Amino acid sequence: MRKKITVVGAGQVGTTVAQLVAYKNLGNVVLIDIIEGVPQGKALDLQQSGCLQVFDSIVVGTNDYKDTADSDIVVITAGVPRKPGQDRADLLNINAKIVKDVTEKIMAHSKDPIIIVVSNPLDAMVYLAKEVSGLSRNHVIGMAGVLDSARFRTFVALELNCSLVDVDAMVLGGHGDSMVPMPRYTTVSGISITDLMSVEQIERLVERTRKGGAEIVGLLKNGSAFLAPGASVVKMVEAILRDKRRILPCTAHLDGEYGWKDIFFGVPVELGAHGIDKIIELKLTPDEQKAIDKSAADVKKTIEEVNAFLKN
């Protein structure tokens, strides 16, 4: 039986996720949105590309959560995107209501799905989804580290004029300005970039990575990134559905790892059929731990706001 992947939100990120999931033949796709006609139209358009892209997945567009029943994976992209000059935290109150409502409706029709949250502010929204869903911590995951690492990889490859394929990068922490790109764990064919670049070059690329989403928002003027975020989600979905046991940076629930508890935070995890199989703790220098602690403290503040929201 084919796996069932529900994508909540038929905007640009959600549509990209649905398209790539179908193109990779990962399973049947349900695209759901509150706007009548939009998910249906996009789903039909995508289905009609099946004979051209050679996929057999069935793609359904709907406004009814009954159609999401028994989903194996649910990707939550619903919410208001950032505008120029707007911080992710500014979105919290708006998107918290949306993510809470979506999660409740998903859980009413699916018993034990794996939920991947994309909505911003990411760290707060994935925490909210776990609290509302009641799912185990290995079944609720945030998409951030894969995207942030992809941006860092891209900037490194462009700087060194080398193949993107040869670059591996690691970005930890919250999905925002206090994220922690890890130069020691970022390599080109196994060689750390600390041996290939000057300190000034690395600092410039680290800062550009931290501002990667805002850079695209500023260029687009109306909207935010969607192609790389969508591809990042599908990398996670594929690792889960095909039990690849990939080591990927994802936003996971910490229970003492890295010295923090009860927050969702970007860390390397092993991702397979059961969701997060384990969290990998890297050996950090004092400076790296300091940066991690600063980012975690920022995330903790947004989670406190979520807890206040849930009490109201």
Which of the residues are catalytic?
Answer: 175
DSSP string, 68-130: GTT-SEEEE--SPPP-TT--GGGGHHHHHHHHHHHHHHHHTT-SS-EEEE-PSSHHHHHHHHH
Q: How far apart are CA 170 and CA 153, in angstroms?
A: 9
**Which amino acid is present at 161?**
N
**Which amino acid is present at 52?**
L
Sheet holding 167-168, edge to edge: 167-168, 187-188, 191-192
> Contact at 8 Å (CB) between 137 and 130?
yes
Angle formed by the axes of helices 145-160 and 227-241, nearest 10°: 120
For residue 130, what are its two tokens?
């776990």
> Contact at 8 Å (CB) between 272 and 293?
no
Q: How far apart are the first and last CA of the chain?
A: 42
Classify residue 266 as exposed, middle or buried by CB count within 10 Å of its CB (0-12, 13-18, 19+): buried
Q: HSE of 69 in the Cβ direction (CA atoms, 13 Å)?
A: 3
**Which amino acid is present at 21?**
V
3-state secondary structure of 299: helix
CA dihedral (295, 73, 39, 124) in degrees, to 10, reads: -20
